[in-house]
Chain A
Amino acid sequence: NAGVTQTPKFQVLKTGQSMTLQCAQDMNHEYMSWYRQDPGMGLRLIHYSVGAGITDQGEVPNGYNVSRSTTEDFPLRLLSAAPSQTSVYFCASSYGGANGELFFGEGSRLTVL
């Protein structure tokens, strides 16, 4: 089982460039989310989706866009990258059951110069 797959694993951008972090899951999970992790800041929720066609903002949504056209995919778009967006990004999915267990991808490490 692939689980949650994120690409790319590493990326270096220049300020102002745009890019998309890809996330795909093969577990037929309705719920998907994006987190960023910075030293000493824990995991902060960027955006999440409770199903295809439905997205909502998390704690730190500014500078990021998402869409959910299929159950499997939940890409995260940086429209104009800034150095403050240098971080490790994790995608996660859940079947939304009672315990809400999240299954995480391996992370995408982004550096913005």
Chain B
Amino acid sequence: GQSLEQPSEVTAVEGAIVQINCTYQTSGFYGLSWYQQHDGGAPTFLSYNALDGLEETGRFSSFLSRSDSYGYLLLQELQMKDSASYFCAVRGGQGGKLIFGQGTELSVKP
């Protein structure tokens, strides 16, 4: 089976940097993904890590350590529009089958 753990809530101020951690347990591992969801709308893809290290996409970066079964999403220069829920997801098999964590609600304050 697969399970993921991430904090339920994180609060930060505009312009700051925030890190959302994710630990996972899985019988097979193809990669760790991150998704963003605003106000219960459709989740949208942010990033994917299959190999150890840091992947950077603009203000967002994602890190993976396969030996530690751990990853994180780093958001820099926070903006009010970054207030959303963030989900990590493990791809444990071929074909894109994803199992999601319970999500972290990020609140960005002025």
Interface residues of A (CB under 8 A from B): 30-31, 33, 35, 37, 40-45, 48, 50, 58-59, 88, 90, 94-107
Interface residues of B (CB under 8 A from A): 8, 30-31, 33, 35, 40-45, 48, 50, 87, 89, 91, 94-103
Which of B8, B30, B41, B96 is the one whose CB lies under 8 Å from A94?
B96
CA gap between A103 and B45 in the complex, in Å: 8
Contact present for A106 and B42 (CB under 8 Å):
yes
Contact present for A102 and B96 (CB under 8 Å):
yes
Task: Count chain A CB atoms within 10 A of each CB in B33, B42, B43 and give the residue with the most.
Answer: B42
Asked if A96 meets B95 with Cβ closer than 8 Å, knowing A44-B100, A90-B42, the reply is yes
Contact present for B50 and A42 (CB under 8 Å):
no
Contact present for B94 and A107 (CB under 8 Å):
no
For residue A41, which residues in chain B have a CB less than 8 angstroms away from its CB?
102
Contact present for A107 and B42 (CB under 8 Å):
yes
Which of B8, B44, B48, B99 is the one whose CB lies under 8 Å from A104?
B44
Contact present for A30 and B100 (CB under 8 Å):
no
Instruction: Given A37-B40, A102-B98, output 4 extra A-B contacts at Cβ < 8 Å.
Output: A42-B100, A43-B103, A97-B96, A100-B96
